[in-house]
Structure 1
């Protein structure tokens, strides 16, 4: 049994070093180095090249090195017999919650507006909002969404969620039949949905029309959720007051993209929450040991649901 790490961001060596420092007895290889393909039983992946996994005849587990698994589900070469797992990390959820709350306060207190003014040496005051003025609607109440909802409630925000099942302690709207009602009372919309065939392009013009005028959109889930031209149209028309975007359909965002420099669209480079090796490595090693013993793995993804 052995592990292969497949990443395209130059971080594979760092992850290998941390894994080996924690468990020296497990053979661990980077995808780009020579390694015995038949020994690989677990692949640790993040945005791996499609088709790169089919060369491992004894592969039993593909483990996402983050919370998202949409890129794994999009790889048609992965056998149905291979178990897919993801990261469930309280630190990741806390980081995401802090980031989204920062975006919310920035919107309420017009911090992006004043940042632009500073660069222009302009002195103009703009009326701000308070937490009592807004209702925050969270699309997706998995671990990340629930953590955010509880943190916002603790700070005194009005919070509601949209999901497939009711969540304790959170006013929840269910499925497609209650989506319009959810949107009509949401003034700040946060997308934390998994990316599936049902949720791809869900943030489109028809959805935005159902939000109240001057609603604000925060997308920290996946770029594939958003129809970018629809967001631009709805912001430029004045229906939406703006957006904070951390994820995009193409990353890095192309230099000629109209989001750059847009006064009402705040951009960050996919940094809302980043998987920490220190908190994730123990999960990986536990599942590796479970795999060796033929035991049930933790944090298994439902291939039918896509998360």
Structure 2
């Protein structure tokens, strides 16, 4: 029962060390050192490409990221389980990033940055957190963790998802029929949706127009979800006050792209959260144990839904 790793070799060295410490009985190999293809039961990869079909006894494909949209599922046999990464490092990183972004918006740091460039010393009236309504698109593991943290600051928090969810202290909306009501009560919109056919181009003029005038967005979902032309127009009109963007389409963002020069846009290079190799190994080993015991694996995707 061999595990094959196919991703960044520097991080892979940490994976190999952790596997050797916690599961010395499980052979761990790093692509392209495949060894005997017939011995491989588990594949850990960011983009396995066509590798899955070349391993005759492969039993599970693990994504080393929180999402699976980077995988070409058509190149992974339909009977193979695909499992996305759920581990504490990913959650903690996202909570930190989104919390800082919301607080930067709430404390008017975009405006103060513009004043600093103009050498203007002018206090802006501070509003209490209770008056700044936060809304999260996507109530999965990351969205729920973000809302649980933001609640502690006193922000009125709401979340929207395709199917009904319950989160303590959070007003939950579900389905297309409630989307307009969710947006109408949201001053800071955080996108943590997975990338699917339904969410591609989701953040467009329709969404921006349904938000209160002067709302802000934090885009930490996936780049193709954001219609950048619509965002630029909404910024120009003041419908959107500011935007924190960690994911773009394409990535990297071209040097001549208009987003770079927008004074009310902050761009980071897809760094909101990343898999922590140490805790990720623990998560994978737990799922390997579950798989061998015939138990449900944590993070196994619904192939029909794409997440």
TM-score for the superposition, normalised by structure 1: 0.90
Q: How many Å apart are 1:53 and its aligned residue?
A: 2.4
Verify the 8 A CA contact 2:110 2:242 in the aligned structure 1. no
Match of 1:97 in 2: 95
Decide which moves more: 156-165 or 114-123: 114-123
Cα RMSD (Å): 2.2
1:80 matched to 2:78: yes
* Aligned counterparts of 1:252 and 1:130: Cα–Cα separation in 2: 37
1:303 matched to 2:303: yes
Secondary structure of 1:102's counterpart equals helix
Describe the shift of the 1:9–1:16 C-alpha distance in structure 2 as closer, same or farther (beyond 3 A).
Answer: closer
* Aligned counterparts of 2:271 and 2:127: Cα–Cα separation in 1: 26
CA deviations 1:233-288 (Å, max 9, x no partner) are 21122211010011122222222222213201111122222221222211211222
1:188 matched to 2:166: no
Match of 1:140 in 2: 138
Verify the 8 A CA contact 1:95 1:272 in the aligned structure 2. yes
* Aligned counterparts of 1:293 and 1:181: Cα–Cα separation in 2: 44
1:207 matched to 2:207: yes
* Aligned counterparts of 2:9 and 2:241: Cα–Cα separation in 1: 34
Match of 1:65 in 2: 64
Secondary structure of 2:65's counterpart equals coil
Describe the shift of the 1:67–1:8 C-alpha distance in structure 2 as closer, same or farther (beyond 3 A).
Answer: same
Verify the 8 A CA contact 2:86 2:298 in the aligned structure 1. no
Match of 1:155 in 2: 153
* Aligned counterparts of 2:20 and 2:224: Cα–Cα separation in 1: 35
Describe the shift of the 1:120–1:45 C-alpha distance in structure 2 as closer, same or farther (beyond 3 A).
Answer: farther
Any stretches of 5+ residues in structure 1 without a counterpart? none
* Aligned counterparts of 2:6 and 2:143: Cα–Cα separation in 1: 28
TM-score for the superposition, normalised by structure 2: 0.90
* Aligned counterparts of 1:120 and 1:54: Cα–Cα separation in 2: 59
Number of aligned residues: 305
Secondary structure of 2:142's counterpart equals helix
Q: How many Å apart are 1:202 and its aligned residue?
A: 0.8
Match of 2:236 in 1: 236
* Aligned counterparts of 2:59 and 2:216: Cα–Cα separation in 1: 43
Verify the 8 A CA contact 1:51 1:75 in the aligned structure 2. no
Verify the 8 A CA contact 1:38 1:57 in the aligned structure 2. yes
Decide which moves more: 178-187 or 16-25: 16-25
